[in-house]
Amino acid sequence: MEEVKLPGNLWFPEDAFRQRFDDVLVSGHHRLRDSSIAFVGLARNCGQWLHGNLLRLQATGMMCKSWKLHVESNDCNDNTLEVLQRFCADNRQATFLYSTLDRPHLPGEFAGPRTIALAEYRDACQRWVRECAADCDYVVVADLDLWGGFSPHGLVSAIGEMVFLPGAYGMASVSLFEHDFGAGRMWGHYDLWALRGLGQRDCYWDQYRGGRGGFGYTWIPPVGSPPALVASAFGGMAIYRTSSYLKGTYDGVSDCEHVPFHRSIAEATGEMLYVCPAMRTVVSWMEPDHEADGIDGV
């Protein structure tokens, strides 16, 4: 599988936002040089994309004062375990925990066994941060099965945005996927399930399941434009202030595990979450002979 090339306006700033993008990026680099970051993520049967995504995180970590990484993995039947072993052997800052739980690789669903399992694994990542990385300035939660990874300048921009928004506890990504909605192949915003309360900090209603969420597929705010206030969002990667991240509680019993997590942080801190338009992830694209399904298994 070859990586697809995104249209430039999905990855780089439009002229109208270029100066703002540059200013925020400079601020992010300044803050990053004096900051420590903990990266955490989940990996199951994603060996095809895992190494590239780990290298992207490593490259971001090299811009920091210090970095650590931890991955939770289980029940793989591909080369995921071998990729983790090699990467952690080469990087003393990196660790992983592999478990044999004899759990099936669950398909996508709105709530149930899959989200309960995801909440359990993400809670394990949070425990690792609490025990091993509580002194880090930021925590980056990353999906490691992204086909096209993420934009490094976007993650730096998210940190820059947080410099100017001291009331922000975190920044989520704009996730992109290629799909045919009926008028040919196009790029859309993927992670509508975790997206709640666009412009409404206390609205956690699930408009996607409520039949009104389709607008979100075309909501791709321009790179470099100001952050968008949300009640919840993820998009395959989010960055949090560590002190705020550790106040959250994951719960996947009745909803996407990110939503109760973000609600619990907001209630505990009074702080806010934003989507950073410059922070992009590439979930999947359409292959020549079939439609890509995106990431939906754990």
Residue found by looking up tokens 């020549």 in the block: 288
Q: Are strands 272-284 and 185-189 parallel, antiparallel or unpaired?
A: unpaired
What is the average per-residue pLDDT within 177-193?
92
- The secondary structure of 204-268, three-state, reads CCCCCCCCCCHHHHHCCCCCCCCCEEECECCCCEEEEEHHHHCCCCCCCCCCCCHHHHHHHHHHH
Q: Is the confidence at residue 290, as pLDDT, over 60?
A: no
What is the average per-residue pLDDT within 107-133?
90
Q: Convert the pLDDT of each residue in 67-112 to its tens digit.
A: 999 999 999 999 999 999 999 999 999 999 999 988 877 666 666 7
The confidence score (pLDDT) of residue 297 equals 36
Q: How far apart are CA 86 and CA 140, in angstroms?
A: 22
If one compares 114 and 221, the residue with the highest pLDDT of the two is: 221
Residue found by looking up tokens 């550790």 in the block: 246
The confidence score (pLDDT) of residue 108 equals 64
For residue 10, what is the DSSP state? G
Q: In this structure, are residues 274 and 227 in contact, taking their beta carbons and an 8 Å threshold?
A: yes
What is the average per-residue pLDDT within 165-181?
96
Q: In this structure, are residues 11 and 297 in contact, taking their beta carbons and an 8 Å threshold?
A: no
pLDDT confidence tier of residue 295, bands split at 50, 70 and 90: very low
The percentage of residues in the chain with a pLDDT greater than 90, rounded to a whole number, is 81
Q: How far apart are CA 272 and CA 227, in angstroms?
A: 11
pTM of the complete model: 0.93
Q: Is the confidence at residue 62, as pLDDT, over 80?
A: yes
The confidence score (pLDDT) of residue 183 equals 86
Question: Hey, how many other C-beta atoms are within 10 angstroms of the C-beta on 181?
Answer: 11
The percentage of residues in the chain with a pLDDT greater than 70, rounded to a whole number, is 90
If one compares 170 and 1, the residue with the highest pLDDT of the two is: 170
Q: Is the confidence at residue 7, as pLDDT, over 70?
A: yes
> Residue 201 is inside which H or E element, if any?
none
Q: In this structure, are residues 80 and 47 in contact, taking their beta carbons and an 8 Å threshold?
A: yes
CA angle 36, 41, 46 (to 5 degrees): 135
Q: Is the confidence at residue 243, as pLDDT, over 70?
A: yes
Task: Give me the domains of the chain, ranges plus CATH numbers.
Answer: 8-284 (3.90.550.10)
Residue 124 CB burial class (10 angstroms; 0-12, 13-18, ≥19)? middle
Distances (CA, A) of 165 to 16, 20, 277: 21, 15, 15
**Backbone φ and ψ of 37, nearest 5°:** -130, 140
Q: How far apart are CA 234 and CA 112, in angstroms?
A: 19
